[in-house]
Each structure stands twice: as structure tokens, then as C-alpha cells.
Amino acid sequence: MNKINIGLIGYGTVGSGVVKLLRARKSYIKNKFNTEFVIRTLCDRSIHKKKTRGLGKARLTKNIQDVLGDPKIDIVVELIGGMHPAKEIALKSMKNGKHVVTANKELIANCGKELFQLAKKNHCHLYFESSVGAGIPIIKSITEGIVGNKFKNIYGIINGTCNFILSEMTQNHYSFAQALAEAQEKGFAESNPALDINGMDSAHKLAILIYLAFGKSVNVKEIYREGITHISHDDIEYATSLGLTIKLLAIAKKEDNRIEARVHPTLISKDHPLASINSIYNAIYMKTDPLGSTLLSGEGAGQMAAASGVVSDLINFATRGHSSALPSNLHSEAPGLKIQKIDQIKTKFYIRFMVIDKPGILSAITGVLGKHNISINSVTQNAHNPSLTVPVIMLTDYTSGKMLRLALNKIQKLPLVRGKPVAIRMEKLW
């Protein structure tokens, strides 16, 4: 029997899920993998307030050093989240020759390269499946499953909160505020949902995917980021009538040595498989050479979905027989890659203008667009009422972020235009 001593740091939602799952699968893991996982030490800053029944002989402590300094601990499971002291825990663990499992997207996004280099140097394993899409095997698929491939692009629905809100707005005709309230009520959104709905959470995960798929260590600040707070229910209705769906997508594309890295609401065809990923489900759609398009989807958040990824990491560590090989060689960066500025990236756009419905308004708007070399593929104006503000929807051909920005700044100042136009990027995924 292969006995593996775990030091578990962080006994919150995910941590207690991991303990629960390890207990539920104990005999299965013994029989199938000839392995016994023992929680030797459980460290949490509020350990004495937590329910710790069923943890057997585990040492309970508030002191991280009780884990890092214990030579009998083989592997440290870090589940506290955030940058500090998570980073110090990962570094110190590996310096002490311990392997590490973490679900910490912020940590891997910001310090991945440094951690992978230390892992290589010290012959440690570093697993992080639950950092993106919880237990959906995204990390393993990219680093091992389709590893012989050249990655061309990645489109991810990797924030369950945003996907839930947009799905509710689409399917149940909710406003953003109603959908957010429902997400909070169901426990799918934090009481402070800022990092989710402003796209930051997706940006962290996208940084990880870019490092794995393209070998580029990207500063999260370089990722263009737009949240979903400005999406109105009207936009969703117009999108639906055009055969489109709005999703918060994390997008990475590589062409030559240029990488696009962006997170924003995106209009995609209703017929694309990503369009049917609803509620809190996550999905990754990747195009690689020579495999083509691959889609992975599943529950990307929640206690047990995250615990599933952590436990899979632990079992994978166990079956590798303490070999010094890393899951894949992640310590080195591909040279010469550059992140493109959003201003230079060309996409099609959906634009909603709110205008006073008087003759000449379309000509004024299209005139400004024309001067910025922006071609219009379609114009829709359904409501007509000269005394009211009505929406005009335009779909553009490919144009750069910069040209669109300049054109909208001008259009916004036209006499008959009211408010700030809403512009949403469109992507053709196949």
C-alpha cells in the first residue's frame, strides 16, 4: 500500500469538500490504486471554529509551519486562495521537497512560471486542475490529452456566475439586476460579485490557459477585460432575434508571434455548441492543429466540482509513483510572443444606439462610421416614434477596437443620439 501524507491548508468550502470526497472514495482508491491518502495535518486560521469530526488522527493547527516544516508530509494541498500567503506556502513547500496541489487561479495566473521553475528544480509535482473550470479536466487535456497539437485559439466560458446571469437574462427575460439577485440567492454569486462580473476571474483563468497552450507568461493586466454589467435585457432580445447569444467569453488566439488575450461579452451564433452551455456550466472550445475543434464542458464551480479536480490531482500524483517527471514541461516560456493591444484587434461588432427617431439620424451615424472605414452589414430599427428615444441596432464588418472607439466617441456627440452606444464584439467560432 502506497501511503501518502497530506498537509491540507484551508478548510473552507473546497477544503471540506476534498476531505468528504477522500473519505467517500477511500476504499475505491485503496482497491484500484493501492493508495491510502492520510490527512496528516489540517491547517486553517479559524480551525477551532470548524467542524472537524471524522478527520481521524489529523493534527489540527492554525500554524502553516506545522505543515511546511513536517518532513513526513508528502504533498501540500493549498486551498486558501488569494496571493498571500498562498504563494509563500507553494514556494516553501517545494523548497522543502513537498509536492503541491492547488486550486488557486490567482496564484497560478500570477506566479505560474516561477512556481513551475521551482517545481522543476526541486523535482516536485505541481498540480492545479481545479484552478480553471473546477473538476472539468481542462488543464489535463491541454497539457497531456492533446499535447501533440499546436494551439490556434481558445474560447472559454469560465465564469459560472456570469454565465448564470446571462442565461437567466436570455431564458427567463430577467434584467441584469434580477438575474444577479437570483444568482446571489442560489449561492452562485458572492455577496460582493465584483471579481466575477467585471471579468477579472475569467482573466486569471485565461492567463493560465495562455501559458499552458501557447507558452506565454502573460501579465493579467495585459488581458483586455470588459464585464457584463452594461449588457441590457434589450441587447439580449435583439441578439436572440438575430440568431445570436451573448456569452462572457475568455478568448485567446495566436497568429505568428501575436497573441490576442481578451475577456468580454461576445455575440456568437445560437447554433454553436458554446451557445447551449447555460447556467453555471463552464466550457472550453479550442482549435488546435491537427485535431481541429475540441469542446470540454461541465460544472465549473461549486464545492464538490472543485473537490473532484483536487482529488483527481492527488490520485494522478499517486499513480505517477513519485517519479521526477512533471505532468508536462511548463517551466520554459516560448520566446518572442507578444500580447496584442485591444485597439489593434479586429472583430465584428454589434452596436446599439439610442436615438431620437427623426429623419437623417441613420445617415448621420453611418456617415461617421464610413469616415472611420467601418462597413455596416445590417441595420435594424423596429420601433418608430418621433417623440421617443428608440434603439437602432447595427452589425458591422471587421474593424479595429481603435476605429470603433473613435467613431463611437463622435457619434455619441451627434445631436439626435442619446447616451453611450453599447458595442459588443461578435465572434465566428467555426
Site for its own copies, rule CB under 8 A:
17, 21, 25, 28-29, 31-34, 129, 134-137, 140-141, 144-150, 215, 271-273, 276-277, 281, 283, 288, 290-299, 304-305, 307-308, 311-312, 314-316, 319-321, 323-329, 332
Residues in contact with 203: Cβ distance below 8 Å, sequence separation at least 6, in sequence order:
109, 220, 223, 225, 250, 263
Q: Which is nearer to its own copies, 28 or 398 (CB)?
A: 28
CB-facing half-sphere around the CA of 64: CA atoms within 13 A = 18
Q: How far is the CB of 10 from its own copies (least distance, A)?
A: 18
CA dist 125 → 5, 65, 102, 353, 392 (Å): 15, 20, 11, 53, 55
Q: Which of 241, 209, 192 is nearest to 350 (CA)?
A: 241
Q: Which is nearer to its own copies, 146 or 362 (CB)?
A: 146
Helix or strand run (H / E) with residue 155:
strand 150-157
Q: How far is the CB of 103 from its own copies (least distance, A)?
A: 14
Q: How far is the CB of 11 from its own copies (least distance, A)?
A: 18
Residues in contact with 378: Cβ distance below 8 Å, sequence separation at least 6, in sequence order:
393, 394, 395
Q: Which is nearer to its own copies, 39 or 68 (CB)?
A: 39
Query: Look-up: residue for cell 439610442?
Result: 354
- Rounded CA separation 362/232 (Å): 22
Q: How far is the CB of 4 from its own copies (least distance, A)?
A: 13
Q: How far is the CB of 395 from its own copies (least distance, A)?
A: 23
The residue count of the chain comes to: 430
Q: How far is the CB of 318 from its own copies (least distance, A)?
A: 9
Q: Which is nearer to its own copies, 10 or 302 (CB)?
A: 302
User: Is there a contact between 226 and 186 (Cβ–Cβ < 8 Å)?
Assistant: no
Q: Which of 330, 399, 277, 349 is nearest to 131 (CA)?
A: 330
Q: Which is nearer to its own copies, 75 or 136 (CB)?
A: 136
Q: Which is nearer to its own copies, 271 or 343 (CB)?
A: 271
Question: CA angle, corner 103, sides to 210 and 72, nearest 5?
Answer: 125
Q: How far is the CB of 316 from its own copies (least distance, A)?
A: 5
Q: How far is the CB of 322 from its own copies (least distance, A)?
A: 8
Residue 205 falls in the annotated catalytic set: yes
Q: Which of 267, 252, 152, 150 is nearest to 206 (CA)?
A: 252
Q: Which of 305, 163, 174 is nearest to 237 (CA)?
A: 174
SS3 290: coil
- Rounded CA separation 314/74 (Å): 11
Cell of 308: 473532484
| Cα of 227 vs its chain's centroid, Å | 13
Q: Which is nearer to its own copies, 206 or 286 (CB)?
A: 286
Q: Which is nearer to its own copies, 12 or 215 (CB)?
A: 215
Q: Which of 205, 247, 254, 287 is catalytic?
A: 205
Phi, psi angle pair for 91, to nearest 5° = -65, -50
SS3 content of the chain, % helix, strand, coil (to 5): 40, 30, 35
| Cα of 239 vs its chain's centroid, Å | 23
| Active site positions, annotated | 205
